[in-house]
Every structure is written in C-alpha cells, then in structure tokens.
Amino acid sequence: MIPNKLAVRFALGSMALLTLGATVVTAQATHVNSVNPNLGAPSVESEQSHIDGVTGHAYNGKKLYRRFCIGCHGPDGNGEGENAQWIDPKPRDFTEATFKCRSTPTGTLPTDEDLYNAITRGFVTTNMPQWRPLSPQQRADLVAFVKTWSPRWAKEKSGTPLTIPSETPITIDSILRGRAMFQKLECWKCHGPEGHGDGPSAATLTDDKSNPIRPYNFSTGTRFMCGETNQDLYRIFMTGLDGSPMPSFADVVKPDEAWDLVHFLRTMQPLKTQEASLWQSYVSAHGKDIKPIGPDSAAGAQ
C-alpha cells in the first residue's frame, strides 16, 4: 500500500508541475504575441546575438531600439516609422528578414556580425547613419532585438559565410581581365559602360517593394553600401544585395576572376589607387585600341 500512496503523490506532484509549466509557456506565448505580430519569431526575453565574445540581449536592445531606431524603422519593425515617408531609399523592413549586406549566400540569413557591421558602418547614400557612438555591447543588443521581428530567425540558421581567398596581385592584366568580365556579365547594363550608374536598364530598377532604386555610381568615389575595402567589394557582388536588383555572382564567378573584377571596378572610381594609376598609364599608352564597353563590343577585348 505504501508504494501506491507514494505513486499517487508523485503523480499529483508531476501534474501540478506540468500545469505550472503549461501556464508559463502560454503566458510567454501571449506576451510575445502582444509584442510581435510575427508568430513564431524569437522571444525578446531570450534572443541573443554573439559578436566577438560580446553577447547581446534582445530585452536590452528593445529599449535602445525605442530610443534610436523607432523613428524610421517603426514600432512594428516594418520600416514604416514616422520619418519613413521622407526617406529614400526606405528604411529596412525587419519583418521580411531580407538584408542587403551579408557575408552569406543570397537567400540566406546574415550572420550576427553582418548585422553588427551594418549598424556600426551605417549606409552611405542612405539616411542610415553610423552608430559608432553606441558601445559594442549596445550594438550587439540591437542585433539581438532585430532578430525578434521575423520567425525566420527561430527556424533557420545563418548562411555559411563566403570564404574570400587572399587577393591576387594588382596588375594591368588582372584589370583587363576584370574589364572583360564587366562586359561579359553585363554589369554595364545597370552600372553604365563607364560605371556612372547610367546603363540602359538603370532607370527601370526597383527594389522588392517596387520602390525605384539606383545602381552604384562608381564615378562618385563614395564608399560602397557594404564597406570600403577590396574585400568588401568582392563580397558585395559575390553575395548580391538581397531585396535589391543586384544579383549574386557566386555561382558563376571563380575567386581569381572575382579579384580581377574588383581590380577593374577600382579603376572607375576617381581615387588614387594602385588600380587607377595602372589603368591611367595603360590608357595613355593604348588609348586608341581600347574598345568601349557596351553593346556590340567584342567582350571588352584586350
């Protein structure tokens, strides 16, 4: 009899525990729903980010978001804050979990570090400023909070970052090969034969929300949207800028070819780079023989 009594007590005890557990779970679920219309998105209470040994917490990021980000990105994270109507390009809609600046393949989630870099760097040519005044901890907290707007962050892992092999030597041959790529891959259709952002399709471009968007104009010499180094440039066209017309070239461009393209792209910027000076001396020696990029060109033949 005694063992039976024990069993009854045990059963009652576990039932009580189960009920308690269920209540906690339900309570949490309602809470998340009240904060976030995206069912199944990570909870603000528990979502974290991990950047270089710093752990960000979404519950801290939420307070920072309400102070610094809500004006443009909006109370619902959908990019419809009160300032959004005056801004072009529009603020990011976090509920779609589509991001331009990634180290990961097109169609995959970025890494925590990608989002952290985006917040730190800001986006030149847009209204998104640099957020270097915020501490690394605060920026990491914001990254964690940004991930609570979409259920994709609960269901999927970040993509595998692109590996970038070390840069090949900057030579005139590399630049010329890159120039042939620029012609062959039809970069000029949007970015223009001389990189002025005025190619035949440039005026028709729209982003994934059907808002008009411009291709990068190399002759401005400004930093790129996703960084400023040759490595950043390599990454931009290999991973593509998701949500924009800029596609990924990772499946069709080999690493050596990608570096060639980087070297050529640099020659179109009015900057004092090694690439630009090599190209200028080539042009002054062979100017007449260089076929212009564009339709009917023999693929930028050397």
If one asks whether residue 251 binds another protein (CB under 8 A), the answer comes out as yes
* Position 154 contacts another protein (CB under 8 A): no
Establish if 264 lies at the interface with another protein (CB under 8 A). Answer: no
Asked whether position 157 contacts another protein by CB under 8 A, the answer is: no
Which CB atom, from 132 or from 184, has the smaller least distance to another protein?
A: 184
Residue 255 interacts with another protein (CB under 8 A)? no
CB contact burial 131-146 (16+ within 10 A = b; e otherwise): beebeeebbbbbbbbb
295 touches another protein by CB under 8 A: yes
Give the span between the Cα atoms of 220 and 197, in whole angstroms.
10
Indicate whether 190 belongs to the interface with another protein (CB under 8 A): yes
DSSP H or E segment with residue 246: none
Contacts for 243 with CB less than 8 Å, ≥ 6 apart: 96, 98, 99, 100, 207, 208
36 is a contact residue toward another protein (CB under 8 A) = no
> Whole-angstrom Cα distance, residue 14 to residue 35?
32
Least distance from C-beta 208 to another protein, angstroms? 5
Out of 240, 259, 278, 300, the residue judged to bind another protein by CB under 8 A: 240
In angstroms, give the least distance from the CB of 206 to another protein: 8
Interface pick for another protein out of 204, 254, 272, 287 (rule CB under 8 A): 204
Q: Which residue matches tokens 């847009």?
A: 126
Minimum distance of another protein from residue 253's CB (angstroms): 8
DSSP per residue, 101-147: S-SS-TTSBPPHHHHHHHHHH--TTSS----TTS-HHHHHHHHHHHT
Please state, in angstroms and rounded to a whole number, the distance separating the CA atoms of residues 245 and 21.
48
The DSSP output letter for 231 is: H
Please say whether the beta carbons of 239 and 162 come within 8 A: yes
Binding region for another protein (CB under 8 A) out of 24-32, 81-89, 137-145, 237-245: 237-245
Q: Mark 80-109 with x for binding to another protein (rule: CB under 8 A) and - for no binding.
A: ----------------x-x-------xxx-
Q: How many residues bind another protein (CB under 8 A)?
A: 29
Site residues (CB under 8 A) for another protein, limited to 42-61? none
- Tell me how crowded residue 290 is: count the other CB atoms within 10 A of its CB: 14
**Token pair in block for residue 26:** 């339900």
Question: Helix, strand or coil for residue 262?
Answer: helix
| DSSP state at residue 53 | T
In the complex, least distance from residue 106 CB atom to another protein, rounded to whole angstroms: 4
Compare residues 289 and 296 and give the one whose CB is closer to another protein.
Answer: 296
Work out how close the CB of 45 gets to another protein at its nearest, in angstroms, rounded to a whole number.
26
Q: Whole-angstrom Cα distance, residue 235 to residue 217?
A: 18
**145 forms part of the interface with another protein (CB under 8 A):** no
Residue 179 C-alpha from the chain's centroid: 26
Binding site for another protein (CB under 8 A): 96, 98, 106-108, 152, 184-186, 189-190, 200-201, 204-205, 208, 240, 242-249, 251-252, 295-296
